[in-house]
Each structure stands twice: as structure tokens, then as C-alpha cells.
Amino acid sequence: MARKRKSGGRRKGIKVTPLRIAKALVVVDALRRSGPAFNEIKFVVQNPGSVATAAGAAVHAKQLAQALVAPLAEGLIGPKLLEKGVQLLSKGEPALGRVARVKLITV
């Protein structure tokens, strides 16, 4: 009895490419930068009296917003910007786009 060939069908798994690695690093870096926001949240949780007044709540809300703006923007916009940069490079020089999208391994 002959063996059945396994060449057809969908190949399963996650393809690891240099572009995906770079996107993951951008998101991880943004999470690492959000440390001051976590410290502010811990302080508010440990000291609920500090936000009991309107003035105290406003100060802590402003500090939390300032601590979250940069990492949040970087984490959300960074991967898309990286993708568009590779797309632009690929349009100018297709070989560079292939280098960024080449499959390294399948996990």
C-alpha cells in the first residue's frame, strides 16, 4: 500500500519573520516604559485618601495620563508604522521587503 503524500493542504503554525520579531519588540518596549503608570496606580490603591478630594483626584488623573500617553501611543502606533515603513521600502526595492518578510521558522 502506497503512502499518501502530505504536500497538499494548509500549513499550520505561526510563521516567525524578522518583521514580526521587530513588531513584538516594539510592543514589549512600550510595556516596559509604562512602569511609572503602574507605580501611580499602586500609589492610588494604597492611599485612597489621596484621591478623596477633587483636587487630589485631578492631580493623580493628570499624572496617570502623562505616564500612559507615550507608552500607549508607541505600543499602538509603532507596529503599524513599522509595517508601513517595510511596505514603502519594498515598493522601492523589492529585495528588502522579501528580507523583512522571509519565514525564519514555523512555531
For the segment 51-96, what is each residue's pLDDT rounded down to a tens digit?
A: 888 888 888 889 888 888 888 888 999 999 999 998 998 888 888 8
In-domain check, residue 58? yes
- Provide the grid cell at 50: 489621596
Mean pLDDT of the chain: 85
Residue 98 lies in a domain: yes
Q: How many CB atoms lie within 10 A of CB 30?
A: 19
DSSP label of 50: G
Tell me the residue range of the domain where 23 lies: 15-106
Q: How far is CA 46 from the centre of its chain?
A: 29
pTM of this structure: 0.70
* Averaged pLDDT, 37-63: 86
Whether 9 is covered by a domain: the verdict is no
Using CB atoms within 10 Å of the CB of residue 95, give its burial: 0 to 12 exposed, 13 to 18 middle, 19+ buried: exposed
Count: domains in the chain: 1
Distance CA 74, CA 90 (A): 23
pLDDT at 7: 65
How many Cβ atoms from other residues are within 10 Å of residue 71's Cβ?
A: 19
Residue 2 lies in a domain: no
